[in-house]
């Protein structure tokens, strides 16, 4: 049986696109393309120049750093709060990280040249993109501190919360093997941490689906790294949306 096609998401489900002034939106909408992203899809390779900038609406993308031995760890999470491809408007071409879809969903993509044109214009959207880049740098710094000083239990709680903040529902599609890869730890460690949360009634885990039953307790179990991330996420969401043209 063929699954019915997904209903298209509105661009304003992405917080950066929602903040576009009318004049900017009228120029951008001709180049924006709605795309379906599947889990595991690679949007950009490490060391390569992105072809598009992606503005997720319902998808979540992980930025991964890879070692020469092939190991990887997640350095940042991008969802409906931001954009994948910040190197395009930061003056560089290649990106040091790999962008991989972790939760399937939809996004709007913009050709790289259109992004560069926006940089050259130095319009109001550039200020929004640079502000988002600052938040991304803060998230990367918090991730580095968290992985160095906090327990795997706390890291797992933080990662689940980062995902929840960027999804409309309280369920994440993530295997324990994937979580271990994102956190850069052994799978057995993630299994033990997830089991503790499940026994405490905080989550329910089954066949790669993690349903959060008690978000408040999940926040209590995480470390102090999450609170600044949540505050910055809310600050970005508070950008006054401009009315979007039909």
Label each residue of the chain as H, E or C.
CCCCCCCCCCHHHCHHHHCCCHHHHHHHCCCCEEEEECCCCEEECCCCCCCEEEEECCCEEEEEEECCCCCEEEEEEECCCCCECHHHHCCCCCCCCEEEEEECEEEEEEEHHHHHHHHHHCCHHHHHHHHHHHHHHHHHHHHHHHHHHCCHHHHHHHHHHHHHCCCCCCEEECCHHHHHHHHCCCHHHHHHHHHHHHHCCCEEEECCEEEECCHHHHHHHCCCCHHHHHHHHHHHHCCCCCCCCC
Lowest mean pLDDT segment, chosen from 76-80, 99-103, 138-142: 138-142
Q: What is d(CA 191, CA 122) in angstroms, rounded to the nearest whole number? A: 48
Q: What is the mean pLDDT of residues 212-224?
A: 93
pLDDT value at residue 238: 60
pLDDT value at residue 232: 67
Sheet holding 42-44, edge to edge: 42-44, 98-103, 60-66, 72-78
pLDDT value at residue 219: 93
Highest mean pLDDT among 9-13, 176-180, 196-200, 223-227: 196-200
pLDDT value at residue 131: 85
pLDDT value at residue 244: 39
Q: What are phi and psi of 179, to 5 degrees?
A: -60, -40
pLDDT value at residue 106: 96
pLDDT value at residue 6: 63
Residue 110: pLDDT over 70: yes
pLDDT value at residue 213: 94
Which tens digit of pLDDT belongs to each residue from 6-64?
678 888 899 999 988 887 888 888 899 999 999 999 999 888 888 999 999 999 999 99
- Percentage of the chain beyond pLDDT 70 is 89
Residue 243: pLDDT over 60: no
Q: What is the mean pLDDT of residues 86-100?
A: 80
Q: Considering the entire predicted model, what is its pTM? A: 0.87
């Amino acid at each position: 049986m063929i699954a019915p096609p997904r209903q298209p998401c509105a661009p304003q489900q992405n917080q950066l696109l929602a903040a576009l002034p009318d004049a900017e939106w009228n120029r951008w909408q001709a180049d924006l393309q709605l795309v379906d992203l599947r889990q595991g899809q690679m949007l950009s390779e490490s060391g390569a120049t992105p072809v598009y900038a992606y503005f997720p609406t319902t998808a979540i993308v992980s930025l991964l750093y890879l070692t020469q031995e092939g190991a990887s760890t997640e350095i940042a999470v991008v969802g409906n709060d931001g954009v994948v491809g910040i190197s395009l408007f930061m003056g560089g071409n290649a990106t040091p990280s790999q962008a991989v879809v972790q939760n399937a969903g939809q996004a709007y993509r913009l050709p790289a040249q259109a992004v560069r044109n926006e940089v050259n214009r130095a319009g109001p959207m550039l200020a929004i993109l640079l502000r988002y880049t600052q938040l991304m740098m803060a998230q990367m710094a918090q991730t580095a501190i968290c992985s160095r000083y906090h327990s795997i239990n706390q890291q797992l709680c933080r990662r689940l919360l980062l995902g929840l903040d960027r999804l409309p529902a309280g369920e994440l599609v993530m295997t324990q093997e994937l979580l271990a890869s994102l956190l850069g730890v052994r799978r057995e460690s993630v299994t033990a941490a997830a089991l503790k949360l499940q026994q405490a009634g905080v989550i329910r885990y089954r066949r790669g689906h993690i349903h959060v039953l008690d978000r408040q307790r999940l926040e209590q179990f995480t470390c102090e790294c999450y609170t600044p991330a949540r505050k910055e996420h809310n600050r970005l969401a508070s950008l006054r949306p401009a009315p979007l043209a039909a």
